[in-house]
Amino acid sequence: MNSSMFLLLLFGVFSLGQLGRVSFLNQEINFYLYEPLLVIGFFYFFIKYRFKPLKLYYPSYKVIFFFMASLLFSFFVNFFSFTVIQNLISSLYFIRLAIYLLFFCYLFFHLKQIKLRFNNELLFLFIAVLITSFIQYFFYPDLQNLIYLGWDPHYNRMFGVFFDTSTAAAVFGLSFLFMITEGRFLLAILSLTALVLTFARSGYITLLVSFFYYYVSKKMFKLGILFAAIFIFLLVLVPKQFGQGVGLTRSFSISSRIANYQQGIKIWLRSPIFGVGYNRIRYIKEQIGLIDKGDKPYHSAASISSSYLMVLINGGAVGLILFISSIFRIIRINRKSSVIVLFVSLLSFFDNIILHPFIMFLFGSLLVNINLSGKLRK
């Protein structure tokens, strides 16, 4: 298998975003067109290398495997509290999470063997995402016509092919950090402009903190001040068109998020130590009357607006401790990748970011590429 061509195809299909989404059972089961390629890639690597990557990486990253084991344990502890179909759907999402972890583990091992990085393929991906996002902003500024499918309208905001401003902000932030670390400053400014146009305040805050950390750690104070000035200039310059979502002083999103957190705490208290099992939040909400089974589909039904609260509900206190330990273990891998981890982990306090398939994919891709040490081909 030609690794560069495979990655280019994988990134190309990923760039479709929500346009590549396939749904079943009233949107309770979803997958994206790039994910079958992910599965094929994993099985190809597994046939080629068997258990060698797992044996090599397990001693150093066992806390991540312990976290996955805790989620599996939570699933079986609460197995008889849910129907067969609900358990089947939950297990599919756990399998998806495991496949992402295993794929990037094997991909890293494979690319180390052939001494290959994939900067150019990542560059292609981010440029494609930026182009489609600016097209969306100017020619399709409102998702009003897709409310019946469970999407928020996000009027006059950039959401790109991701149909969600928080997810888009995470993608644009990762694009910005990638461009900065690769020295592509014009594309970094374009990525920063895209993030500003999402009007996602959590994205603003976490990116500012992350690249402040990056420039301080690199002792590049002048360049850091320059990009901070560019960010403020863009914030003042971009048009604040009609729409409540573009107001940076809006309070409705804060109150709704607090209510969402309160719901999450209520669900967590049903099983505080080991959690309810991965991806069962929708069914718990139905059981305690927060949503009706016959309601129209909406994409936050199976989610909570914080990845940490999601893990606390799914895996309980045990799962959250192992999850946070896993993040700290990833930070220690490579100083250069720590800014990527910092950005995603901070943004995940405000929304379910790190567990979103799009972000898991980009996060894993960037970490693998950054941590391919040595004189590898770019």
Taking the domains of the chain in order of start, what are their residue ranges? 3-370
In this predicted structure, what is the pLDDT of residue 292?
61
Q: Is 24 left (phi over 0), alpha (psi -120 to 50) or beta?
A: beta
In this predicted structure, what is the pLDDT of residue 181?
84
Q: Tell the residue number behind the tokens 């995402």, with chain if given.
A: 129
Q: What are 44's two structure tokens?
A: 């190809």
In this predicted structure, what is the pLDDT of residue 252?
59
Of 152, 175, 154, 93, nearest to 344 (Cα)? 175
Q: What are 328's two structure tokens?
A: 């700290």
For the chain, which residues score pLDDT lower than 70? Answer: 148, 150, 240-253, 292-301, 373-378
In this predicted structure, what is the pLDDT of residue 376?
40
Q: What are 347's two structure tokens?
A: 């943004």
31, β-bridge pairs: 22
Contact 44, 1 (CB under 8 A): yes
Q: Is 150 left (phi over 0), alpha (psi -120 to 50) or beta?
A: left
Residue environment code for 307-344, b if the CB has 16+ CB neighbours within 10 A, otherwise e: bbbbbbbbbbebbbbbbeebbebbbeeeeebbbbbbbb
Query: 83-128: per-residue pLDDT in tens?
Result: 999 999 999 999 999 999 999 999 999 999 998 889 999 999 999 9
DSSP conformational letter for 154: -
Which are the contacts of 56, defined by CB distance < 8 A and separation ≥ 6? Answer: 109
Query: 181-219: per-residue pLDDT in tens?
Result: 888 999 999 999 999 999 888 999 999 898 888 887 777
In this predicted structure, what is the pLDDT of residue 375?
40
Which are the contacts of 314, defined by CB distance < 8 A and separation ≥ 6? Answer: 71, 74, 275, 276, 277, 278, 279, 280, 281
Where do runs of H (alpha helix) occur along the chain? 3-14, 34-49, 52-57, 62-77, 84-114, 119-139, 165-181, 185-198, 201-218, 221-237, 252-268, 281-287, 307-331, 338-347, 357-370
Helix or strand or coil: residue 23?
A: strand
The residue type of 250 is R
- Convert 41-77 into a string of H (helix), E (strand) and C (coil): HHHHHHHHHCCHHHHHHCCCCHHHHHHHHHHHHHHHH
Of 101, 120, 104, 121, nearest to 12 (Cα)? 121
Give the whole-angstrom CA distance, residue 77 versus residue 334.
36
Q: What are 250's two structure tokens?
A: 């809006």
Phi, psi of 31 (to 5 degrees): -145, 165
Give the whole-angstrom CA distance, residue 224 versus residue 239.
25
